[in-house]
Amino acid sequence: MLPEDKFFETRDGRKIWERYCGFLDLSIEDFMQIQRRLLMEQIEMVANSPLGKEIMKGNKPRSVEEFRSVVPLTTYEDYKPYLSEQREDVLTEKPYYWCHSAGRGGYFKWIPYTKQGFEAYTRRVIASMILASAKSKGQINLGPGACALLLMPPQPYASGCAIHHLSKYRLSLKIIPPLEYAGEMEFQDRIAQGFRMALVTGPDIICSIASVLVKVGESMAEGAQRMKFSKFMLQPSVLFRLVRALLRSKLAGRPIMPKDLWSAKALLTAGTDLHIYKDQIAYYWGEVPHEMYVSSEVFPMAMQNWNRKWLTFAPDTAFWEFVPEEELLRAEKENGYQPSTVLLNEIESGKTYEVVITHLYGMSHLRYRMGDLITCVASRDDETGVELPQVVFKARIGEIINLGGLAALNEKTVWQAIANSGIQYEDWSARKEYDGGQGYLSIYLELKKQLEANDIVRMIDEQLQAIDTDYKDVGKLLGLQPVRVTSLTPGTFQRYYEEKHKEGADLAHLKPPHMNASDTIIQRLLRLSQDGIEKP
């Protein structure tokens, strides 16, 4: 019996909730006390390692305050010479897992995880599952033996490593498709196989990025009319599920949707697009998704409460610091300026911060700038009684498009504007381009239904004005149309995917980035769009 299985079997619901979700009952003072204790333990563990000595400049701080004053803020460039080559001789201990990032910037960031770190992180993954399935405080609707449909990247992505460790060594879960061969399958094939298996078993947990959930919902609704009979459908459990789904959809007067096939207890997701697709996901899947804030460095970092409203940081996954937005702006203007940070008990409602982490449990990163921007929306959640600061993910620093110093557009804002416009589209990529020295937002958009270029620009421009007050007067002040759209032929993004796949690109590099794509990527999209004209 796995360790967490035994805990679920021998404890009542109150004890189970306390073990995994009890951090939500902490006062901010108790939260900070845990943070300080774990940081001092971390310093003790890493101070004598070669990498620890390098980052801390040979110091061994004796307090949190000293640590923050003598250890500089770091970026991946400080670790790259060691971690990109997976050098274990510079670390505190031999890594339990080597995980990598999604490959932003064209290369992977490798992160060495200790066993103790993974033990802590998997407890928080369990917490996310419990919270995703709960409708009120203390509810335990999931446990050992739950069936989990996972539409996520496999090992050595951090998400794949976390699920592997959880299901193999901590909590018994029935993963579909099984981890033993899922890692050998292409992502699209894994999705198809996962749904095929889910028709037999029915999942208790569904975990995926938001855009995949929407795409599956759309595809199912569009393809229901073309469903072909097969022997697979004669299996009693499959046949029952399909007939029931058909009846549900007929009574509702619409095509079959995922919610007609499954009633999962928990729907977990992450990504900058979640707030855009939340209503669509609920429409297709019949459940409001539960959000996790995750990264390759810390999985997970924060999670929503059971009311699915805002995010709460956990005290034992990293030591948290935050760079105020005004400090970031000063650092942009003053070369070499080291921005100051605040702690979680010092962040203020309405203000935006960059997240800075220090790993715990003997892991490698110290005062590491994530490049993620979060906004504190409240000092507590009155609805749930959680007394810790509540935050939302805002953007990544490198993915912001600044127009004339007047408006700073991030991926969420641009994506929301395109979605709100009502334009039927397949995918998009945007970047800053120039006209006579003035920058504008250039969007490369693959449409599902053709529209006049001027209408597309007008619709997106109107939505940007409605969403971002700073953007509203950009056109007047700059003297030009701040949005321009290039329409791509149908199938452009699919051809990009297929071409990159043939070149052997990893999963993370099969799609172009939404924001600030390079000249090379944009030229490839334009060429593939032209191929769609020449080879219909």
pLDDT in tens, 114-144: 999 988 998 999 999 999 999 999 999 999 9
Q: Is residue 166 one of the residues assigned to a domain?
A: no
Q: Which pLDDT score, from 0 to 100, does residue 267 have?
A: 92
3-state secondary structure labels for all residues of 150-212: EECCCCCEHHHHHHHHHHHHHCCEEEECCHHHHCCCCHHHHHHHHHHHHHHHCCCEEEEEHHH
- Look at residue 81 in the predicted model and tell me its pLDDT: 93
Half-sphere exposure of 518 (CA within 13 A, CB side): 7
Residue 517 lies in a domain: yes
CA dihedral angle for residue 133, residue 137, residue 143, residue 148, rounded to 10 degrees: 20
User: How many Cα atoms sit within 13 Å of 103 on the Cβ side?
Assistant: 14
Domain presence at residue 423: yes
Least confident of 85-99, 386-400, 506-520: 506-520
**Residues, the chain, total?**
536
Average pLDDT over residues 94-114: 82
pLDDT of residue 272: 67
Q: What is the DSSP string of 378-411?
A: ESSBTTTTB-S-EEEEEEEGGG-EEETTTEEE-H
Q: Is the pLDDT of residue 417 over 60?
A: yes
- 382 within some domain: no
Tens digit of each residue's pLDDT (9 = 90 or more) over 484-514: 999 999 999 999 988 888 887 766 677 888 8
Which has more pLDDT, 523 or 106?
A: 523
Q: What is the reported pLDDT for 153?
A: 77
Residue 439's CATH number = 3.30.300.30
pLDDT level of residue 395 (50, 70, 90 thresholds): confident
Domain of residue 476 covers: 400-534
Domains in the chain, number: 1
pLDDT value of position 223: 57
Give the mean model confidence (pLDDT) for residues 248-273: 86
pLDDT of amino acid 104? 57
Q: So what's the pLDDT on residue 208?
A: 84
Domain annotation covers residue 72: no
Percent of the chain clearing pLDDT 70 (strictly above)? 94
Is the pLDDT reported for residue 51 higher than 90? yes
Burial class (CB in 10 A: 0-12, 13-18, 19+), 365: buried
Whole-number pLDDT of residue 523: 94
Secondary structure tally for the chain: helices H, strands E: 20, 18
- 344: left (phi > 0), else alpha (psi -120 to 50), else beta? alpha
Round the average pLDDT of the chain to a whole number and report it.
Answer: 88
| pLDDT higher than threshold 80 for residue 89 | yes
Q: What are the start-end ranges of the E strands in 397-453? A: 401-403, 407-409, 425-435, 438-447
* pLDDT above 70 for 479: yes
Least confident of 15-19, 212-216, 347-351: 212-216
Task: For residues 146 and 129, give the distance between their C-alpha atoms in angstroms, rounded to a whole number.
Answer: 10
| Any domain includes 229 | no
Given a cut of 60, whether residue 226 has pLDDT beyond it is no
The mean per-residue pLDDT over the stretch 371-387 comes to 95
pLDDT confidence of residue 200: 86
| The token pair that represents 409 in the structure block | 């557009």
469: in domain:
yes
Confidence of residue 299 (pLDDT cuts 50, 70, 90): confident
What pLDDT, in 10s, does the model give residues 235-258? 778 888 888 888 988 898 888 888
Residue range 326-344: mean pLDDT, rounded:
92
314-326 residue pLDDT tens? 999 999 999 999 9
Is residue 377's pLDDT more than 70? yes
pTM: predicted TM-score of the whole model, two decimal places: 0.84
Highest mean pLDDT among 8-17, 226-235, 261-270, 500-509: 8-17
Burial 427-449 (b: 16+ CB within 10 A, else e): bbbbbeeeeeeebbbbbbbbbee
Query: What is each CA distance from 17 to 123, 129, 459, in whole angstroms?
Result: 11, 11, 47
Q: 60-81 pLDDT, tens per residue?
A: 999 999 999 999 999 999 999 9
Averaged pLDDT, 330-343 = 92
pLDDT at site 157: 84
Specify the pLDDT at position 194: 82
Which pLDDT value is given to residue 359?
97
Between 477 and 33, whose confidence is greater? 33
pLDDT attached to residue 32: 98
First to last CA, the chain: 57
Asked whether residue 426 is assigned to any structural domain, the reply reads yes
pLDDT tens sequence across 425-443 = 999 999 989 887 778 899 9
Residue 354, pLDDT above cutoff 80: yes
* pLDDT digit string, tens, across residues 185-196: 777 777 778 888
The predicted model gives 149-161 an average pLDDT of 83
